[in-house]
Amino acid sequence: MKKLTHPLTILFITSIVCFFLGIPVNSYAQFLSNKALYTKGYKSYIANDWIYASVFLYAYIQRKPKEFLDHKFRKEVIHAYDHCIDQLMKQNQDYKKFEAMPEIHNNDGESGVTQESGTKAPVLRDPSLIPADIQQKANTDNTATTPKTIIKKF
């Protein structure tokens, strides 16, 4: 099976998943600061909530924050985002396999399907561990975009 890794394909899949789940992340992410986007992405990532993590990390990556001056940090975030997409694709494949299987039950009458992904998630740095010098530069350059700050800019 061909692996769908083209950036537009990944964006499309993430958008469709968010649409069907009713996640208003596109408009919500526009009003968050870079730090808030990363923090929400990090919290979702460590909770293995791949949908939210992929959306928040993608929004963070698209902003090209000053923290990306640290190439190691940039690589961490991109690998974490790729891992989220891989997990979503794997869950989709597992779901399709599960649909094709006859129903199997344990002695307790519960379904015999597990949630294990089989691959270890790449490390994603806690927001408090972002290098202080880079974070300080980013904090002086990036302000939260809220309706009030948009109006003030005009």
DSSP one-letter string for 91-153: HHHHHHHHHHSPP-B-TTS-B------SSPPPP---GGGS-HHHHHHHHHH-----HHHHHHH
58 or 3, greater pLDDT? 58
Q: How confident is the model at residue 43 (pLDDT cuts 50, 70, 90)?
A: very high
pLDDT digits (tens, 9 = 90+) for 111-135: 444 445 567 788 888 888 776 666 5
As a whole-number percent, the residues of the chain with pLDDT over 70 amount to: 55
| Residue whose tokens read 């992340």 | 25
| Residue whose tokens read 């990363």 | 38
User: Average of pLDDT values for 41-64?
Assistant: 92
> Could you tell me the pTM of the whole model?
0.57
Report pLDDT for 152: 44
Asked if the model's pLDDT at residue 66 lies above 70, the reply is yes
Report pLDDT for 79: 95
